[in-house]
Amino acid sequence: MTSSPADLLARRARLLAPTYQLFYDEPLQIVRAADVWMYDEQGRAYLDAYNNVPVVGHCHPQVVEALARQAATLNTHTRYLAELPLQLAEELLATLPPQFASVIFTCTGSEANDLAVRICKAATGGSGFIVTEFAYHGATDVITGMSPEDGGPLGPGVYAVPAPVGAAGAAAFGAAVRRCLRRMRADGVRPAALLVDTIFASDGVAAHPAGFLAEAAGQVREAGALFIADEVQPGFGRVAEARWGFQRHGVIPDLVTMGKPMGNGHPVAAVAGQPGVLAAFAQRTRYFNTYGGNSVSCAAALAVLQVIREQELLKNALASGAYLQRRLQALAARCAVVREVRGAGLFLGVELGENPASGLAGAPEAARVMNALRRRGVLVGTTGRRGDALKIRPPLTFAPQHADLLVEALEQTLAAGD
Ligand SMILES: Cc1ncc(COP(=O)(O)O)c(C=O)c1O
């Protein structure tokens, strides 16, 4: 017997700690998904314009087959000689600049960032980290202190700078990092790294003008610190012009962290690094993560890379992303509620202002639109320090006809004010 949403809500309230959150005023019970569609318990289809994890589409048959085949053959850790982790490392490194020499596998993006922080401390002798003001980098104790979006205090030695959202924010970013480094030194803190999500997903999405990260990275290097590109959200082709978000900015990080889409829903993540930086860490300590680099995770990640190549998903993300952006810009031109459309490839933020039809503005309007779109069968999220932007980041198989559905539903929702 299938439980109803009401039963599940009651059991959830009883069984799961109150830290959990649900999307939407009317929470969704999703029972299956395929490609860009998710289906509820009644069989109703929802267009998924939100989930970046199923990067090659929900339940992609090649990924499912790779997972099942490997699970039926062998699943073990990295303390035995095996082909799969090496093949995955080779394939990942082939997508990165030649300066990247090796990888360390983890299970989650949080672990990857936590490890990157340890590596930067070992390589620089510093303990100061710079993040953006509404960043999210993960859920370990140390990384929560570097994730102001969570609402908690910054950790010891962690400093926040305004995110480079909008043209003015982007232009000011390098100078903000320089001032922050000065503040750090005045406090007697030795800088270790700048850690940014290269699409600034939780800060409200920031992508233009591409290049602003190069100046910021230059500032931290001059100060003897390192640059960590958190590619957990923008990586694996989402920004379309390149495989990795940092590549749009013409900068080469010291460390790259990746996760989420890497396994299309299966937990697999990694840190890739330049040799000098990794050597300093390896001299001090060993790193073992029981499930990091396990055989099944590697098989899933290899299948994801293969599908991205075979289905030319970067090309698709570039074309569909450009089409979606054009349609959203056209909507913005005829509908004053849409204040700004930001982003790259298939990662877009749509900032909303005042809507006479609903009588709402900013964050309440964005929340209303997200809920009304869900009722119309289209799934998006919200983002930004002010919470006033819609977050759109569908699987990379998203096609122009899906963009049409999304924009038409959005236009109806803005006009209806319901
Ligand atoms: C930019 C960024 N980095 C890291 C993480 C943490 O990844 P995970 O949830 O896999 O630990 C997230 C998760 O949302 C993220 O958005």
Q: Domains, the chain, ranges and CATH?
A: 5-56+312-416 (3.90.1150.10), 61-310 (3.40.640.10)
Q: What atom of ligand 1 comes closest to residue 139's alpha carbon?
A: 11
pLDDT of residue 4: 86
pLDDT above 70 (res 1): no
State the Cα–Cα distance between residues 365 and 369, nearest whole angstrom.
6
Distance 251 CA to ligand 1 centre (A): 22
Q: What are phi and psi of 318, to 5 degrees?
A: -65, -50
pLDDT, position 5 = 87
Ligand 1 pocket list (CB less than 6 A):
108-110, 113, 136-139, 197, 201, 230, 232-233, 259-260
Q: pLDDT tens across 334-349, in order?
A: 999 999 999 999 999 9
> How far is ligand 1, taken at its centre, from the CA of residue 138, in Å?
5
- Of the candidates 382, 379, 368, the residue with the CA atom closest to the CA atom of residue 413: 368
CA distance 415 to 417: 6
Element (H, E) at 190: none
* Count of Cβ atoms closer than 10 Å to residue 34 Cβ: 15
Q: What is the model's pLDDT at position 176?
A: 97
| Pocket mutation for ligand 1, best pick of 23, 134, 195, 232 (most atoms within 8 Å of C-beta) | 232
pLDDT at 100 over 60: yes
Give the pTM.
0.98
If one residue of 20, 21, 129, 137 were mutated to test the ligand 1 pocket, choosing by the most ligand atoms within 8 A of its CB, it would be: 137
Q: Would you say 390 and 374 are in contact if contact means Cβ atoms under 8 Å apart?
A: no
CA of 137 to the centre of ligand 1 (A): 5
Residue 267 Cα: closest atom of ligand 1? 10
pLDDT digits (tens, 9 = 90+) for 145-194: 999 999 999 999 999 999 999 889 999 999 999 999 999 999 999 999 99
